[in-house]
Structure 1
Amino acid sequence: MRGPSAAYSARRAPAQRTLAGVSPSVSDVPEAELIAFRRDLHMHPELGREEFRTTRVIAERLRAAGLAPRPLPAGTGLLCDIVPVLPEQAARPFLALRADIDALPVPDAKDVPYRSRNEGRAHACGHDVHTTAVLGAGLVLQKLNAEGRLPRPVRLVFQPSEERLPGGALDVIDAGGLDGVSRILAVHCDPRVEVGRIGWRIGPITSACDRVVVKLDGPGGHTARPHLTTDLIGAAAGLAVALPAALRARVDPRSGLSLVWGRIESGQACNAIPQHAEIEGTVRCLEPEAWHDAPELIHELVEQVAAVHGAKWELEYHRGVPPVSNEATSAMLLREAMTREFGADTVEDTPQSLGGEDFSWYLEKVPGAMVRLGVRPAGTASAPDIHTGAFDVDERAIAVAVRLFTAAALSPA
């Protein structure tokens, strides 16, 4: 755990520090205000499609800046347009900046003043940072627009439910969130990348991700007489071990197909063989062809393993998201914006990961790109990973992301 220490104090921005003075393209939005906003979100994390408070505080801040956010039909998430005052600029297509606003069902294990107040909930993936960065960029761009300096319309997308497959991006698309949009950009926190830097890549940067549930049933019975019933615990354990191994033997390893279990449940007593068992996990894949074939192959393998144990079975295969594949022009737009703001040495190549991201659904419709935002404190060799209760960020990353988004929006491209 990381407590309020010298390292914590070093991450706190001075109250008088603003984003102005470090970049001629950025107006004076106080960095301390954005950090305070992020910490408020961090203290009040909400799960997918439950982000009512989060949506409300984002909307209140946007309205205070003179903007007119509009909520999505389900009541969580919102869109907000910033349209140039000059007609010739207002006629251009929208550049969209996307943030995801939901949290994870993970207990917050940090000892910090902004620790989650919602039991069993935490912004363990950095969505509070993504949200604050897009909000901050919107506030900057609104000020520049008032000065006649916004070259194109910009749409702020605050998306719900990224963590729940197939993702809230589909809600945004269904609500017309991409209407009039020619390009969409995003960042994702990465504790492997040092603060002040981004990781970029043209082409696939994440993998496909699906959800698998295997349900097993049998008559149940006494553990003293397992030969008279079906050992569902053994069947579930056999599937948990055999299925990933069988997949590795049947699929080209270069496809990156991976099945990892996250939940196994069965039984209530040590001397009673249960009547029902479930195992649940995720299938991740780097290559589209192997992803396409995965449901049929897993069905075949579940049938074979379950037959060995004599268990009745049911497979639920839930398609999740395709890989995020960065379009070249969009990726270059972010790279060049980062280079202009911070220098060429602040951009590093990043590998394709097995993580899933519903940002991919937007890229099925319009060009776009996502880069990895460095959040690891400077001078440290490692930091707690995302999706863990100990995850935290160097908050200087917020200003970096605001400047990155702002520079991209002001680009003539």
Structure 2
Amino acid sequence: MSLESEAGAPGEAGLPGTLPEALRTELIAFRRDLHMHPELGNQEFRTTAAIKARLEKAGLKPRVLAVGTGLVCDIGVDEDGGEGGPAILALRADIDALPIPDAKTECPYRSTVPDRAHACGHDVHTTVVLGAGLVLADLHRRGLLPRPVRLVFQPAEEVLPGGAADAIACGALDGVGRIMAVHCDPRVDVGRIGLRQGPITSACDRLEIALDGPGGHTARPHLTTDLVTAVARVVTDVPAIVARRVDTRSGLAVTWGRVESGHAPNVIPQHAELSGTVRCLDLETWRTAPDVVHAAVDEVANLHRAKSEINYVRGVPPVVNHPDVTEHLRAAMTARRGADSIEDTEQSLGGEDFSWYLEHVPGALARLGVRTPGERTVRDLHQGDFDADEHAITVGVELFTAAALVDGGW
């Protein structure tokens, strides 16, 4: 059954672009292949090649980003760069995986790469944008696509400060008027999406601290710097101090993921290391967060006579959904699957480098339901047993296809 024979069939609300069964089956196989061969950020060479080959098979002309992985592909965009027509709608997917083992022991398409897994759903995001692109390309050939579309397959979302900056530098937003993305949500049933105007994710930075002292005997801590106590106070006091130095509504939070110090029970160590994340709900507070955190760490370290060295790594700002683009997605989902397929979603404390695109153009991110209805166990993101109900691929493709077809008021 060919794409050409079905892509123009009316959807549930009369829209063209219904996903043909043959393509649905192919996309599930494509997603499973990506899931079996996960690649880390800036190493997605096989993934990039697979996407490129399928787009070229459809007669499109994808362009690999200058950084070596990731690609963009235009549909209905003038090759001479002519202006005056409708602005481009960009659909963005992230293509990298995570450095964790796949724990799905009984899954036939589990990762074949040790300590690598698509545990955040990027394989689903990629497949959704690919599928939407194939449907939209067919509609364009038949004169049914009202606006140009750019597919953006972005590398290194999981690598701070995110591969979005590289994609932007490579021209991914040139001529773009709006940009949209989806992110898997294991707490939303498949067949539904979550929408929110304004902030939908949080800022996320990385914090690395080294503490040093002369060391000594545990029998005489008063003659040296008791470095383990200093570390313990940094662990407990810095988050509390930071939380009291900003508006509590900003949600600024320091959380530790690693603490290391010492080698023997009767030796006060000379060196200690801590690392964690700094997350924030509010964009303006995020801009001041490095100064606030630096001051709190120095204050606690100095109190305990420890020398501190701080490496504050800027990550990503919050994703702030533009109201108009959010409502464009709402109209698209309503047209395709009805208003009951949409639910309001809360702001997450997770970070997403989709935020960098929104520094340049209006855009919005929707939460794509991937939980099988009735399933009690939530297989959360960034866990080795995470998986998605693959019907979400169909939902995502239909959402993006409708978004390119409905009038979004721009």
The alignment's TM-score, normalised by the length of structure 2, stands at 0.91
Say which of 47, 61, 68 aligns to 1:68: 61
Shift of 1:268: 4.2
Shift of 1:297: 1.6
Say which of 18, 28, 42 aligns to 1:26: 18
Q: Which amino acid aligns with 2:72?
A: L
1:109 is matched with which residue?
A: 103
2:93 is matched with which residue?
A: 99
Contact 1:206 1:357 in 2 (8 A): yes
1:4 is matched with which residue?
A: none
Query: Identity over the aligned pairs, expressed in percent?
Result: 63
2:242 is matched with which residue?
A: 247
Contact 1:84 1:90 in 2 (8 A): no
Q: Which amino acid aligns with 2:395?
A: V
Contact 1:221 1:273 in 2 (8 A): yes
Contact 1:213 1:316 in 2 (8 A): yes
The alignment's TM-score, normalised by the length of structure 1, stands at 0.90
Contact 1:203 1:325 in 2 (8 A): yes
1:47 is matched with which residue?
A: 40
For the residue of structure 2 that corresponds to 1:50, the secondary structure is coil
Contact 1:205 1:325 in 2 (8 A): yes
Q: 1:222 to 1:33 in 2, by over 3 A?
A: farther
Q: 1:198 to 1:63 in 2, by over 3 A?
A: same
Is 1:349–2:344 an aligned residue pair?
yes
For the residue of structure 1 that corresponds to 2:275, the secondary structure is strand
Deviations 1:179-221 (Å, cap 9, x if unpaired)? 0111100001111111100000111111111111111122334
Deviations 1:46-80 (Å, cap 9, x if unpaired)? 11111111111111111111111111111011111
Shift of 1:101: 0.6
Q: Which amino acid aligns with 2:57?
A: A
Contact 1:83 1:90 in 2 (8 A): no
Shift of 1:145: 1.6
Is 1:318–2:313 an aligned residue pair?
yes
Contact 2:56 2:62 in 1 (8 A): yes
Contact 1:89 1:153 in 2 (8 A): no
Contact 1:341 1:404 in 2 (8 A): yes
Say which of 165, 168, 171 aligns to 1:173: 168
Q: 1:27 to 1:376 in 2, by over 3 A?
A: closer
Q: Which amino acid aligns with 1:191?
A: P
Q: 1:327 to 1:273 in 2, by over 3 A?
A: same
2:370 is matched with which residue?
A: 375
Q: 1:41 to 1:224 in 2, by over 3 A?
A: farther
Q: Which amino acid aligns with 1:300?
A: A
Question: How many aligned residue pairs are there?
Answer: 396
Give me the whole-angstrom Cα distance separating, in 1, the residues matched to 2:379 and 2:95: 21
2:70 is matched with which residue?
A: 77
Q: 1:404 to 1:30 in 2, by over 3 A?
A: same
Shift of 1:115: 1.2
1:59 is matched with which residue?
A: 52
Contact 2:36 2:111 in 1 (8 A): yes
Say which of 288, 292, 297 aligns to 2:292: 297
Q: Which amino acid aligns with 1:100?
A: D
Is 1:143–2:135 an aligned residue pair?
no
Alignment of 1:146-165 (within 5 A): 146-165=141-160
Shift of 1:120: 1.4
Contact 2:331 2:406 in 1 (8 A): no
Deviations 1:101-136 (Å, cap 9, x if unpaired)? 111112211121111122111111111110000001
Q: Which amino acid aligns with 2:271?
A: H
Give me the whole-angstrom Cα distance separating, in 2, the residues matched to 1:411 and 1:114: 36
